Structures are given as C-alpha cells and as structure tokens.
Structure 1
Amino acid sequence: MEGRPRRSFTEDYKRQCAGLVVSSGRSITSVAKELGLRDSVLRRWVEQFEPQPTSAARRPTTQATPMSADQASEIARLRQENERLRMERDILKKSIANLRRNPDMSFRFIEDHRDGYPIRLMCAVLEVSPAGYYAWRERPVSERTKSSAVLLAAIRQVHQDSCGRYGSPRVHAVLRRQGRATSRGRVERIMRRHGIHAIMAPPRRVRTTDSRHDLPIAPNLIARDFTAPAPNRVWLADITYIPTAEGWLYLAAVMDLFSRKIVGWAMRDHMQVELASAALTMAIKQQRPQDGLIHHSDRGVHYASRTYRDALTRAGMVASMSRKADCYDNAPMESFFHSLKTELVHHRNYETRAEAQRDIFAFIEGFYNRTRLHSAIGYIAPIEMELKVA
C-alpha cells in the first residue's frame, strides 16, 4: 500500500496560516495542531509573512471629566435597572416553550438557568411561585431524568465544540463516536426542548457562472454518480462569492469526491480565470494526483478557457462538465458552499476582504476538512476518510 505523498504548499496557503496565528492571538502550537502542521513549519511561515512590529503602537490618552456623586449614583441605578430588564427579556426569549403555563416545564427551565439568573426573577417572569419551585426541587429525581441531564450536558458540549453548526444528526453521530448509546430521536427531542439547533440563514444568490461563450465544452463523465473508488480519482470545482463592506470576495474551490475534502482553494477580489487556476494549482501541489483524474465543473468561462484546459492537460486530467444551468450535476460542491454560508458567512459582517479570507481559511482547513462530520461519508471527517486508504 502506498504511503501518503509529501505535502507541498502554495504561497497563498502559507500566508493564510501565518495570518491566522497573528489575527486569532492563539499560540503557534494550537494553530499547528488544528491545521495538521509541525510547529517549526508554522513558526517559519509566521516569521516570513507576519514580521513582528519594532515598537508597539501608542494609544491616545483622553482626560476624563470629573463626575459628581449624584451622577455616579444615578448611572449605577440605571445600569442596575437596565440589567434587570435585559435579564427579563432574555428569560422570556429563552422560555417561549415554557409559556404554556406548564409549571413542571417552567420549573425545569428555572433549574437549568439558575446559575445565570436570579430564581425569584425567573419565577416572576414565568408566573410561578418560588415555593412551588423549591418544592419541585425536593421531589426524588427519576433515573430517566438523571440520564437526560447527563445527556443534555454532553449535547451542549458537542454543540459548543462545533460553534453551533451541528444539528441533531451530527450531534448524535458525535455522541455515538464517544460511546454513548442513545437514539437519534431522543437527542432531537432534548435539543428541541432546550432550544439547541444548528445555526442557519437564508441564502443570497449571485450568479458566478457565465456559460455564454463559444469555448469547448467537455462531456459530463460522472452523470451525477457522486462516488469515487479512491482519493484523487474525481475532483469537483466551482466558484462562489462572499459579501464584505469592501465588495465581493470570490472563492474558488476544488473538492476530492472520495473524501469530500477541499484539496484546493483560492480567494480574490475578482472572478477571472486566474482565480480558478490558483485553486487548481493548490490542489495539484498538495495532492500530486496521477494521470487520468476526472475534473468536473460547470460550463463557466473560467473552466472552459484555454488557460485552464492547458493546466488540466499538463496534469494529465480529463475534463468533465455539467449540463447547462443544472446545479444538481455538481451537487457536492453546492452542498459545501451551502454549509460554508449557513454555518459561517451569513453570521458574519465582514468589514474587509482580508477579514473574510482569514475566517474562511480557518473554516476550511481547521474545521471542514479536519473536524466536521459529513453525512455522505458515514459521519466522519474528510481527513479521516482520506487516511483510510493511506
């Protein structure tokens, strides 16, 4: 059995790795472990691309206007009142399901949140008595309730570890990997009861495919057969967009169909052929595929261009293209972009393209490829799938 080929990295990749260390404030060891790199390699890239400033920036100082005792007292009172109102609003928001005037559910909500809010305040908002709550607490706890409490804590931890991106199917898959014998239905009920759900957002669409050209079109060689016998036999490629305050940031990506790993990517402020070519170059440099690999894309001008076709020929790849205006012919790539946007992009307001690049790099290399469980490959991470045949 052949070993894994030695990894090779583009300048874009090295720069993004170094930028992630500096922008996140995390240690080199922590980031290197997340990205599957050696500490010494990442440290060298940081020194190369992110040199330390020679002197710290000075912060301007301002003179504070003296405040009278009465003013300070009033500000303290207003802050206290504002905090009370904020807590009441939060309690109402979190306890919608308990507003059926079901005392048992209300008591359970109070128990779950008593470390975060005053008990008497929660009782007042939910219209139950403190005495009733304390009496409820004194009742013997059933084994089922104890088991549910332990399971809830485990569910919260898995959900937190995924940054809120996992719904009940993936949470259940992680729990099973941890050796917890529980049904998916029970996990779903507990998550619904406690308001734990995957972060989602409505899609926003911008056309990134221009197939109005007279360039050569390759036949569809995969015909929606989204399986591959081994790594680096079938790659999928596509382009999407990311909104920022500076304008669109375009992301080109290449996916290995066998493992669902993103093997190449590039981000630019334009959607020219160079964008798609840069993603392909990264994929080839990192994976070093053998001749005969099928490269599938849409009919966009980027993939039909002479430059791109020549790159495929030099790498010994065979071009394949979707039918016109049929996104389902490249469904796994569409699924990746959907995950990227619903789990990350739609929950951010990027001021700059550089900020978006750092965030997306961390998502792809630190989470999607190495941690995120994929239903299409049996709820394991792409890197695990790839290592199965290494």
Structure 2
Amino acid sequence: MAKRRNFSPDFKARVALAAIRGDGTIAELAARYQVHPNVIGNWKRTALEGLKTTFTRGGSRTDRGHEEEITRLQAKIGELVVERGFFGQGLRSLSVDRRRSLIEPEHRRLGLVRQCALVGIARSSFYYRPVGERAEKLRLMRTMDELHLSCPWYGSRQMARALRRMGHRVGRKRVRRLMRVMGLRSVAPRPNTSRRAPGHRVYPYLLRDLAVRRPNQVWCADLTYLPMAHGFLYLVAIMDWYSRKVLSWGLSTTQDTVFCVHALQEAIERYGTPEVFNTDQGSQFTATAWTGELSTRGIRISMDGKGQWTDNVFIERLWRSLKYECVYLQAFADFGEARDGIGAWVSYYNEQRPHSVFDGLTPAEVHAGVQRLDRAA
C-alpha cells in the first residue's frame, strides 16, 4: 500500500498559483509537480475562495471582532477558573455528608460523575452508606470504659490482660486501637514518646497554689467517650471549679475541636468569663481555635500535667457519676436519645442532686451564692 504524501502549505500555494496563472494545463502541472490532477484542482479552488474573502469589504473588522471575542472568552475562562477554585476551597471545609447532600442524581445537565468531581468526593462515596458497629465490639468497648473508670491507671497491656481474664479474646494492638478511638489514656506517668502538633502550645498548670474561693474564678473542661446501643458518641462539658456546676455541654460523633468551642461559647454567653480555664493536654484543647477563644477574652489558660488526672479531678468524678447514674442504665439508641437523656441528667445534677461537700446544697445553689440550706425545725 502506497504511503500517503503530505505537502507543505508553501508547496500547495506555489502549485495553486501556477494553475491560476495558466503556466500549463492541469495534466502538465500534475506531471511537473508529481501531484494528482484532482488535487491541483482542489488547491486552485481553495486559493480562489481565499482571495475572495481577503477582498471582501469589512473583512478586517470581522478579524478584529473575532479577536475581541477570543479575548472576552479567555477572560471569562479565567473568571470561571478562579470561581471554581474559590468554590472548591469552601466545599473542602464541609463534611463529606454535607457535600454528598449537594448532589442531585436527576440533574439534567450535570452527570453524577461530574457533580462528584465538583464537590470533591469520589463517586463511590456518594453510594456509600455507613454500617453500624457490631454488637460484640460495642460490648467490648463498654467493658473497657467501665474498667477505665474503676482502674484509670490501666494502659493497653494491663487492659488487654484484664479483658482476657474476663473471657474476651483480644490482643494488645486491638485494645490500644480501641482506646485511641474512645479517647482513653492511662493516668500512669509514661515516657514522652509523642511530639506535639506544630503550633500547638501546652500551657503550665496554674491551680497548684491557687485558692479557689468563689464561682466563675476557675472553669474546667474535659472530653469523654459515651457508649450507646448501636455506636458511641463524645461528650464535652464545661464546669465551674468552685461550685461543680455544669455550665454547658455538647455531643459529637467525632473528636473534633468545633463542638468543644461551641460549648465554650455557650458557657461564656450565659455566665461571663472566668479568670482561669483548666483542661488536659488533649489535641482539642491545645488547638488554636480553643486557646485563641480564651486568649482573646483575657482568660488565663491552665493545663494538667501529662498523665496527672488528679489535676482535673472534679470533672473526672463528674464522668463517673454520669455514666453509672445515666449512660449505663439507659443504653441510648441514637444521638437524639443521648442528647435528651444527658440533658435531663445534667439538669438533675445541677438543680436537684445534693453535693456532700456543700452540706446538702446543689451545684446550682452554690453557684448562685446560697450560703446554707434552710431546714425545717
């Protein structure tokens, strides 16, 4: 099979011009330039049509119009690129569930694959539906939570040994992973095997020699794991150190900083600002979003020593009471039940549950400044 010849634009123009000038017949030109006669005829017609366009009135204005149109379209493309980048930046701050809700499977002009690309998720993520935790795993995690309350010095090794003695077939690696998920940390001192995240400052403990004599002088906060019938949640609480009153609290399905900051803002809106705020060294409380909220309001920041659970002992005791008096007894089925049940227990704890340290007064009464409880003669 003969190989197809390719001719340069200059060669085509020279042959077409020869045909237009009549330098020879088409057959003679074909023999001279070694080109098929039909090809020379096509080049001649193309050249004549190009000449007509060149001399058409207003042709230059048409070219200028085309250039202006190209410039306008290029500017529009640049705007769309910038807007898409801005749109993508904003979407990345949303959760995957929120971005998934923006997709319209029945959209007439945008297919599902294109919509998934625009919101920054894989197509498989759109079809994914979370699977609930296995009952056996949830029972194991609840047992671990109970063991941590009774033996807070247990690390992953000792926790695994205790669980095996109770009949659970678990290894240390699985226990360590579940403890990390649950946010459980041994209170026993241990080597500093981890580094703080860049930019996360750890503050000194300020309560060691501080006499706390009034409400709103010192606040504290902590995060804990809550088992449920079909999963688990995380609870944060803000407590007044002097009166033991729970000032605000929040629930979340993840250990993030956002819901902790929301609880802090709610407490400040309702009760003003304390002089000192104490927490542990968890990543939620060393994050800039949390410490910045305190610093901008002039609140001094205090943090427990590493592994020193007694530095924040009052809120640790709150978790023990909450779990044994509420969470373990009710076995919440979902987020709504947990929110309502914990809300009812916190109201009971603040308003009705007498505290032995305060001679029978409730935390709410101590926080309000009640000095003693009037008893009937």
Q: TM-score, normalised by structure 1?
A: 0.45
Larger radius of gyration: 2
